[in-house]
Amino acid sequence: MTAASPTPGFTPTGTIASHRDRRRVVFATVVGTTVEWYDFFVYASAAGLVFGQLFFAPAGEQFAQILSFITVGISFLFRPLGAFLAGHLGDRYGRRLVLMLTLIMMGAATTLVGVLPTYAAVGIVAPVLLILLRVLQGISAGGEWGGAVLMAVEHAPSAKRGMFGASPQIGVPLGLLLASGMMALMALVAPGDAFLVWGWRIPFLLSFVLIVVGSYIRRRVEESPVFVELAERKERTKAPLVQVFRRHALLVIIAALVFAGNNAVGYMTTGGYIQSYATNPDGPVALERGPVLWAVAGSAVTWLIFTWVAGWVSDRIGRRNTYVIGWILQLVGVFALFPLVNTGSIGGVFAGLAILTIGLGFTYGPQAALYAELFPASIRFSGVSISYAIGAILGGAFAPTIAQALVQATGTTMSVTWYLVGMTVIGLLATLLLRDRSGIPLGPDHEAEQARSPIHGLSKA
């Protein structure tokens, strides 16, 4: 193979050999993150639809659903552990190793959920095992994202990082599309009680097949050129986590708040809340399970489109400007969501979610490139992973639980709307605190430049 001309910040040893290799990286990150997030979201969908009845019924109808949503949030508490482990391994031993480990862990946990006995069969053991498997999913998710985005962004030409970085990002709406589509299909194949008895299990068991495919594809991808160069120079940091918190603690928190503003809103669907709210037979909407799942799947398509568009736009107007546009669009979507869902029609549910995904895409598509450009090469995996994990806790971890509790306490979805508005404004303010570093060299030759603080008002980390 012939080497491509070096991009800024890379030596010839750290460049991609051909456009074909770049396409392979993009394809592998999309497939891998799609499989990971399919596993994560199929759990959240089941939590909104069946886990309350099957695993938490003794708590009573009112609290069973809250407990079910709490298990969705519990996994987020373990994302930092996954981020710590993956960040250390990724900065010391490579991005590709971490991607393989997290994919296998996530797939194994998801498949095992599909064979769990229910509370009626084994009592308290059932929810305990369910929670333990969700914890494993959380650890895996905490480590997966950082590796996937760095593989994409560090392989990319500097002028196309936003678009390359959007490739693992679109794995999230693709995972939601696949998870919702499988659940909707099983609602048709196994309607009514059959769905509760065995239909919900099939999407979980499918994970075994997906994990084999994803592992095969990821094994064929070259290691990140930035890590290869660090390894060749023997410049890998011995304690990357310590360096992240010693020199960049404030940056981690601000970056986490950027993601939290997106994640809290996104988890209205990815966390299963809208699915539960719209299908509750005693609620104001009371729609059939299958059509609601298809509406969610349709909104995943619009989310995918605008996530990719936002990555492309960020290469032209910068990450920060793209985010600001996204926060404004997200506010519009937040105010439109529940009035449209509460019309009680499938068209209204889809319209509310589709409008919401425009802003979600614009505040998610540029995130991979934004995060990668914030941290120095030697601690980049740790920095982006920890920021992402903390942002997920502050944002989406208990967003469905909070929404459920707010509606039960106030009797109106307007309380949820204002909660989501608040999270969106927090994301906007955090974004405004950051300088735009689009196109900054990512290689180890430019560590000094990368280490300068991107926070307004600070000259160094």
Give the pLDDT band (50/70/90) at residue 3.
Answer: very low
* Contact (Cβ atoms closer than 8 angstroms) between residue 48 and residue 186: no
Report if residue 7 sits inside a domain. no
- Domain with 114, as residue range(s), is 15-451
Report if residue 10 sits inside a domain. no
pLDDT score recorded for residue 212: 84
pLDDT score recorded for residue 5: 35
Q: What is the pLDDT of residues 361-401, one digit of tens each?
A: 999 999 999 999 999 988 888 899 889 889 988 998 889 88
| Per-residue buried b or exposed e for 367-380, using 16+ beta carbons within 10 Å of the residue's own CB | bbbbbbbbbbbbbb
Q: Which position has the higher pLDDT, 317 or 16?
A: 317
Q: What is the pLDDT of residues 94-130, one digit of tens each?
A: 777 787 888 888 889 999 999 999 999 999 999 999 9
Q: For residue 56, give the CATH number of its domain.
A: 1.20.1250.20
Tell the burial category of 110 from Cβ atoms under 10 Å away from its Cβ (0-12, 13-18, 19+): buried
pLDDT score recorded for residue 227: 64
Residue 461 reports pLDDT greater than 50: no
Residue 8 reports pLDDT greater than 60: no
pLDDT score recorded for residue 367: 96
396: phi then psi, degrees, rounded to nearest 5: -85, -15
Mean pLDDT of the chain: 86
Task: Please tell me the distance from the alpha carbon of residue 91 to that of residue 94, in angstroms, as a whole number.
Answer: 6
Residue 9 reports pLDDT greater than 70: no
Residue 260 reports pLDDT greater than 80: yes
Task: Please tell me the distance from the alpha carbon of residue 132 to that of residue 105, in angstroms, as a whole number.
Answer: 13
Least confident residue range of 8-22, 82-96, 175-189? 8-22
Report if residue 457 sits inside a domain. no
| Per-residue buried b or exposed e for 428-456, using 16+ beta carbons within 10 Å of the residue's own CB | bebbebbbbbbbbbbbbbbbeebbebbbe
Task: Please tell me the distance from the alpha carbon of residue 25 to that of residue 168, in angstroms, as a whole number.
Answer: 10
Our count of domains for the chain comes to 1
Q: Which position has the higher pLDDT, 65 or 19?
A: 65
* Contact (Cβ atoms closer than 8 angstroms) between residue 102 and residue 140: yes
Query: Which residue type is seen at 274?
Result: I
434: phi then psi, degrees, rounded to nearest 5: -100, 140
pLDDT score recorded for residue 74: 86
Task: Please tell me the distance from the alpha carbon of residue 53 to that of residue 59, in angstroms, as a whole number.
Answer: 10
pTM for the model: 0.82
Residue 230 reports pLDDT greater than 70: no
Report if residue 1 sits inside a domain. no
Residue 181 reports pLDDT greater than 60: yes
Q: What is the pLDDT of residues 31-70, one digit of tens each?
A: 878 888 888 889 988 988 899 999 998 888 778 888 998 9
pLDDT score recorded for residue 6: 37
Give the pLDDT band (50/70/90) at residue 235.
Answer: low
* Contact (Cβ atoms closer than 8 angstroms) between residue 138 and residue 82: yes
Task: Please tell me the distance from the alpha carbon of residue 60 to that of residue 58, in angstroms, as a whole number.
Answer: 5
Q: What is the pLDDT of residues 288-308, one digit of tens each?
A: 988 998 999 999 999 999 999
Residue 416 reports pLDDT greater than 50: yes
Task: Please tell me the distance from the alpha carbon of residue 129 to that of residue 117, in angstroms, as a whole number.
Answer: 9
Indicate the SS3 state at residue 118: coil
Element (H, E) at 366: none
Report if residue 361 sits inside a domain. yes
* Contact (Cβ atoms closer than 8 angstroms) between residue 362 and residue 329: yes
Residue 135 reports pLDDT greater than 80: yes
Report if residue 167 sits inside a domain. yes
Report if residue 336 sits inside a domain. yes
Report if residue 3 sits inside a domain. no
Indicate the SS3 state at residue 457: coil
pLDDT score recorded for residue 2: 33
pLDDT score recorded for residue 217: 73
The β-bridge partners of 62 are none
* Percent of the chain whose predicted confidence (pLDDT) is above 70: 91
pLDDT score recorded for residue 407: 93
